[in-house]
């Protein structure tokens, strides 16, 4: 129960940050791409850190759920912020100027491979960014999910080897 509450609050906090942070400045396009790359590097570091935490956890399955409830929304919100900033910099970059909600909607439709077609990138550099997101989506769903599941298995094996009541440094999650 605590894990689901904590996970829900994490998602709510991240979405609130997305809507409340001042993303209205119009930086040159290169800064938007740089911000996206920095965000993806931060997500990669977060994934590595979380996988280590899963292996050390007393309840690796629950820790994995927390990890996914943090990593997936953060990943989507980074792309969404990038699309929003790109639209702010160049309102003609997409088929229509994007609000934050439009950018989030677009990011999720790309992630879910729904592709309604209501919003689409017009500018060539943004089409490349969307292609990068599609590839990153596949990596997130394939490699990261596999790494998380392997970490759960290793954590369970570690806990079984330690035996019941073992005094380990594992967290309580």
Low-confidence ranges of the chain (pLDDT < 50): 167-168, 170
Q: Would you say residue 1 lies in a domain?
A: no
- pLDDT of 113: 85
Q: What is the pTM of this model?
A: 0.85
Looking at residue 166, its pLDDT comes to 56
123-158 pLDDT tens trace: 888 899 999 999 999 998 899 999 999 999 999 999
Inside any domain, residue 50: yes
Range of the domain at 44: 28-159
What's the pLDDT at 57? 94
Residue 6 within a domain: no
Whose structure tokens read 């999910």? 145
Position 34 scores a pLDDT of 82
The structural domain count of the chain equals 1
Domain CATH for 142:
1.10.287.70
Does some domain include residue 4? Answer: no
């Amino acid at each position: 129960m605590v894990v689901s509450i904590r996970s829900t609050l994490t998602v709510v906090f991240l979405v609130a940050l997305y809507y409340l942070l001042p993303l209205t400045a119009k930086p040159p396009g290169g800064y938007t791409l740089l911000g996206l790359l920095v965000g993806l590097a931060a997500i990669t570091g977060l994934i590595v850190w979380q996988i280590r935490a899963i292996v050390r956890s007393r309840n690796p399955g629950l820790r994995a759920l927390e990890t996914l409830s943090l990593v997936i929304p953060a990943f989507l919100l980074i792309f969404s912020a990038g699309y929003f900033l790109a639209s702010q910099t160049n309102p003609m970059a997409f088929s229509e100027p994007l609000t934050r909600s439009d950018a989030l909607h677009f990011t999720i439709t790309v992630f879910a491979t729904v592709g309604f077609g209501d919003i689409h990138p017009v500018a060539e550099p943004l089409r490349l960014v969307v292609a990068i997101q599609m590839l990153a989506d596949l990596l997130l769903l394939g490699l990261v999910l596999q790494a998380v599941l392997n970490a759960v298995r290793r954590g369970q094996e570690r806990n079984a080897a330690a035996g019941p009541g073992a005094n380990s440094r594992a967290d309580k999650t």
